[in-house]
Amino acid sequence: MKKYSQIRSCVFLLVLCLSFSNSWANLSSLVDVTPGTENFISCIQPKSNNVTSFSQQLIITPVNASFIPIWQVAVQNTRFLKPSTPKPSIIVTPVDETLVQKALFCAKKHGYEMRIRSGGHDYEGLSYTADVPFVMLDFTNMRSIDVDVANRSAWVQPGAVLGELYYSISQKTDTLYFPAGVCPTVGVGGYMGGGGYGNLLRKYGTAADNVVDVRFMDVNGNILDRKSMGKDLFWAIRGGGASSFGIVLAWKLRLVPVPEKVTVFILNKTLEEGATKIFHKYQYVAPTIDRNLHIRTQVFAEYIGNTTKKTIRIMFEGIYQGTRDTLLPLLDEKFPELGVRREICEEIRSIQSTVVFWGLPSSTPIEILTNRSAIAKLNNKSKSDYVRTPIPIRGLRKIWRKLMQNDGSALLMINPFGGRMADYSESAIPYPHRAGVLLQILKTVNFNGQTSDTTPTSLKRIMWLRSLDELLTPYVSKNPREAYSNYNDLDLGVGSSNYEEASLWGERYWKRDNFQKLIRIKAKVDPDNFFRRPQSIPVF
């Protein structure tokens, strides 16, 4: 990593030396020269009068032709792609830690807030929008991945996405992987900061549980690692929202062993095929079965054929860290009602399983995971919950009826916990949803077919989602009702002027003890609350 940083620094200095061929006077035609913006650019520019090329390539303002394309390319939730969305005053796309440091210094000096964008998957668009003047630090040019098979580790810069990480690992080995999510375009930088879960969580825990080191810039521009930052800050940034405390420059990840081939299966059950009873048993089996098996479910309401009658369809998606010859006897013993047959089981590489869980055939070239433009974007509003007691049959039937009232825009995605997740204490890292959690539920409505999320139809869908949230209240966790911080939801509240306000959302994401500890750490490392956004860790 040190050698890599030295090389990047040399490249950065070479860019500076070769790029400055035009005068400051010419720069005024390329950038927004309002007093604040001009001051920022004057601050961040190298000590030279020839800065046009440098600014054009790495610092973009609204008068640049590339401003909107650069801003919108990583807007992963298309409901924010509208003229009314507040955009940055300046976008900085660093190629090196030196420019990150300068951008931080100049944003503080000239009164800008800062938003840090890795992959742009945050559900409320908080990494690229704000109602105040802000600098967006976009890590698209800092996406290096260095896989070390011998030491079972990888250094990953924040602009890399999960698909690129998986692909890089697969190019060196089929017997190591990283326990993260299935969406290829999620940025590594923010994902680890919120905890991060995926198909390997029951065997290896969250992604943040498998972070072993970091390069991190604090509010004063100091670059720290695990040792120099101290155990409290290292604890906080793994699941407590790293961007509340500073800027992650790279994560060092522990790669975990996997078999050369894993077994996947997908099958669907409708109400007419006994889906309710099968799902009811699923709540008992999926969190307690062999840790090598993960069975995700997706729940939809749909019409039966060409009729006007609706049914519920539940898709069961399984991945087993082993062969079908071992999987089938396990399911025959523990979950025969599911009806998994040999012919629907497929033995494939771990990298191919990521493709399958993204909804594509296993034969799809794995290079698609590195093609950010090939992966469909979202257009939705989402909420999350955790289930600690199995939902009774009567409760499931209420949920199914509610889904049938929807116009087809709704989806429930449910992941079982248990296994390795129950081995960690709630305070091992800030992510607290551990022992006793059976299921995590993601509830979402899309705005497909709508011009925005504010049309009458879109607003109706949002109201339906909120009413589903209310209906679920008796069946999900309580005191607090838990939620996943990486699925940020501003409906939970944004106030942070005092603990009573902040606890409305903070205790749901992190629980009381962890949230209070995060607040104490924040007060030490960023006492003036420079790194702030809605639902960031507050300073009182």
**Distance separating alpha carbons of residues 20 and 275, to the nearest angstrom:** 66
- Closest by Cα among 176, 188, 180, 179 to 152: 176
**Distance separating alpha carbons of residues 182 and 356, to the nearest angstrom:** 9
Q: What six digits make up the tokens of 264?
A: 């996947």
**Distance separating alpha carbons of residues 210 and 212, to the nearest angstrom:** 6
Q: Are 136 and 94 in contact (CB under 8 A)?
A: no
For the four alpha carbons of 82, 88, 90 and 94, in that order, the dihedral sign comes to negative
Q: Longest Cα pair distance anywhere in the chain, in angstroms?
A: 76
- Closest by Cα among 25, 189, 220 to 118: 189
> Could you tell me if residue 5 is left (phi over 0), alpha (psi between -120 and 50 degrees) or otherwise beta?
alpha
**Distance separating alpha carbons of residues 417 and 386, to the nearest angstrom:** 10
Q: Are 459 and 466 in contact (CB under 8 A)?
A: no
**Distance separating alpha carbons of residues 386 and 181, to the nearest angstrom:** 17
Q: Are 382 and 487 in contact (CB under 8 A)?
A: yes
Q: Are 123 and 144 in contact (CB under 8 A)?
A: no
- DSSP letter at 83 equals T
Catalytic residue list: 487
> Could you tell me if residue 308 is left (phi over 0), alpha (psi between -120 and 50 degrees) or otherwise beta?
alpha
Residue 7 neighbours by CB distance under 10 Å: 11
Bridge partners for 412 per DSSP: 299, 443
- Closest by Cα among 385, 376, 360, 443 to 409: 443
